[in-house]
Structure 1
């Protein structure tokens, strides 16, 4: 497995975002745009409003398709 470096404030399109919800349950979000910031990520699915979650709740990011500068 290769290690990816995510640059702060860049937007990445990912196929699957594995994270923990507020109750500590694992969730998977598909086809989501994410922006990494210090300590947080902003995630937005195509059909919904964006949301913010602490970076420590992110378990795995799969299928990074590209990065766009903001």
Structure 2
């Protein structure tokens, strides 16, 4: 049983629990700039007029990519 516990511990994923791929900081910054530009220029509202996109969703997205 001890070997099974060690095996599980070595394969158990703790750092990236949701399975999202790792994204470099430069790519995160680029994504944030593009989304920010599209959001505040009204481009998103032109493409998706039926969607209601609020600033709280935008800022939660920025928090989720953790730019710090």
TM-score class, shorter-chain normalisation, is: under 0.3
Comparing both structures, which one devotes a greater share of its residues to helix?
Answer: 2
TM-score, length basis structure 2: 0.24
Rg larger in 1 or in 2? 2
Comparing both structures, which one devotes a greater share of its residues to strand?
Answer: 1
TM-score, length basis structure 1: 0.23
Of structures 1 and 2, the one scoring higher in RCO (CA 8 A, sep 6+) is: 1
